[in-house]
Structure 1
């Protein structure tokens, strides 16, 4: 049996008529840049997340770059973040000549260890950039308390966190990821929980002034056509992508439920294997399993074995950012962030998407069991 790590084909075949109609409608209207589907998607994201403003851009990376610029994460200012993440979560700072200040992660959640943030705050610190990774949000209670106490801006990297919600200790209701900080970003990369058929991103905020800046920054800094208030960017979500995302958004709650069901299949079948550790969900929040990770002994050998069995798997992430060549100028060395380094050697992502079958999950888990019996 072949089990893809991810495939868009099953979802497309299930909803082919809706997707084709959505594309055809855009083609017939001929409005490919900031068409009505883009506005409709932005309003739909506002309704779904509870954010006052949602502004679409061309990618999750652009969302981070633009947000960092607007929040003043630049010109030598320091921004506290995690070294255990995708490049874009930190390159967005470096592109504006800000200095990323890394804090190690919590071994159980893979998110930034909020108990270690305060010691990194100084008079040059401008903000905090937490990344909500894989299935759960960072401890936003502690992050927002520290930000308020030290007058810092918070940019939530919720690229992987669509559908995740946080309650914590300071609220009576759950709040969607991206709505707690000053700005929050989503990615619509195809593999994401809400993914398009190409690149796409969104910036959300409850601050109207910031929202107006984002709208200008995405169209070269223009307040109206050919009137430029800022040196901005060319970053607009394609109308076709917006149309496709509107179709997917109708089914997002069911997709999230299915992902959580799949995660429970894995947990139940793998819990008896002593060589495997499954991350813990911490704090009062609603997780969403964008990725299902395990920590495992002999990770590289297991990954190779699974691929021999035609089972897709992936490693998020093989090298922490502080040890990447492009960040060598920061002067970090091996051992500076030991938890991140340890996780990078043990983590392995297994196939998870709403259309995967229980039979396929059984096949994956049986293959893992057979590997450790060798």
Structure 2
């Protein structure tokens, strides 16, 4: 059993993927080939965002976004400690101080009600993290940002591409098109993944889009004319070709992820298993980048599941403000919910091609494991 079944997905999409790769090999434009812009246009249409700028990774997307906003030494950016290290790493690389806001226990998302107390004259942006496939309370976060001088909001949407959010409005909007800038990752295990590293940045701001496109190619406005400091941040053409092929069935995959999330929840409840799935708010959905539950005796549960052939993963066992490189920024006692979640979260297998028999096996194994 695979934790994330990329092999079956590849077999289902093999003709489309091979045709896309062959086209790149035939024209030979491996850097900034026509598939790059084609993918950007399709992602713009999918999210409803005016601009999409593909880049070399989700980490680079966050870094480039901070650079485009002119955020640097001495500035502060508010974010969550319960996330992958890249969220804070890019800030520190630019001399920016990450300011950590604790999470909600049920969703594991940044608690918007705690943000305002952390804002200072040095705050230059808010970076909420859309975790496990679900976006944060973006309307509340955007409202806070607006009250404090229209602070930019950068959605770290590495795990939530494809997710919907309404915020109580009549019309739902897509993750990556909910704030000043949205950043996502095409790491292979993400809801929409390539076969290496890749990412994308979304914005409706023309000035930011121009800056991001220049930063992506070493700060060039045109060849050998550098208007700003940049990076080598391009997503290569072959990886764009893979994502283009995967887009052909992405709507089906999102639908299937939603169905599997519902099935997991109902089967866990029906089996009387004492494990809480991450809560999904009624004004949004989750594309379940990780199907995450919370259990008290995690190590024992993982061991028992492994004995039944069920792989698991933990995202994330140590909050950033307890990591050696970042613990000087914020005391552990300041983020009690993050500490609590870090000791309990555990992710179970979920891929669009997961079949009913395998899901039933996972549930049966989980019931036995949790009972120990």
Cα distance, 1:11 vs structure 2:
1.0
Match of 1:38 in 2: 36
1:283 Cα shift? Answer: 4.4
Separation in structure 1 between the aligned mates of residue 246 and residue 303 of structure 2, nearest angstrom? 33
User: What displacement does 1:274 show?
Assistant: 5.0
Give the corresponding residue for 2:315: 316
Structure 1 distance, partners of 2:8, 2:268, is 26
Aligned equivalent of 1:301: 300
8 A Cα contact 1:275 1:297, kept in partner: no
User: How big is each residue's C-alpha offset from its partner over 1:141-166, in whole Å with a ceiling of 9 and x where there is no partner?
Assistant: 11000111102111110111111122
* Runs of 4+ in structure 1 over 4 Å off: none
Q: Does 1:238 align with 2:236?
A: yes
CA distance in 2, matches of 1:55, 1:354: 27
Shift in Å, 1:197: 0.7
The verdict on how the C-alpha distance between 1:23 and 1:130 changes in structure 2, with shifts beyond 3 A counting, is same
Distance in 2, matches of 1:334 and 1:61, equals 25
Alignment correspondent of 2:249: 251
Give, in angstroms, the shift of residue 335 of structure 1: 2.1
Q: Which residue of 2 aligns with 1:340?
A: 338
Q: Name structure 2 gaps, 5 residues minimum.
A: none
Show structure 1 runs of 5+ residues with no match.
none
**Equivalent residue for 2:177?**
179
1:1-374 correspondence to structure 2 within 5 Å: 3-151=1-149, 152-169=151-168, 171-271=169-269, 272-330=271-329, 332-374=330-372
* Count of residue pairs the alignment pairs up: 370
Say whether the 8 Å CA contact 1:265–1:358 is kept in structure 2: no
Deviation per residue, 1:87-123 (Å, 9 max, x gap):
0111111111111111100111111000111111111
- Name the TM-score, length of structure 2 as normaliser: 0.97
Task: Give the 3-state SS of the residue equivalent to 2:325 in structure 1.
Answer: helix
Looking at structure 2, the residues matched to 182 and 42 of structure 1 have their Cα atoms a distance apart, in angstroms, of 18
Contact persistence 2:13–2:246 (CA under 8 A): no
Structure 1 stretch displaced more, 73-82 or 206-215? 73-82
Q: Provide the alpha-carbon RMSD of the alignment.
A: 1.2
* In structure 2, C-alpha distance between the alignment counterparts of 1:372 and 1:352, rounded to whole Å: 19
Q: Distance in 1 between matches of 2:140 and 2:250?
A: 29
CA deviations over 1:171-224 (Å, ceiling 9, x no partner): 432121121211111100001111011100000100001000000000000000
Separation in 2, partners of 1:273, 1:288: 24
Q: Is residue 72–residue 126 contact of structure 1 (8 Å, CA) maintained in 2?
A: no
**Structure 1's 34 and 278: CA in aligned 2 closer, same or farther, altered over 3 A?**
same
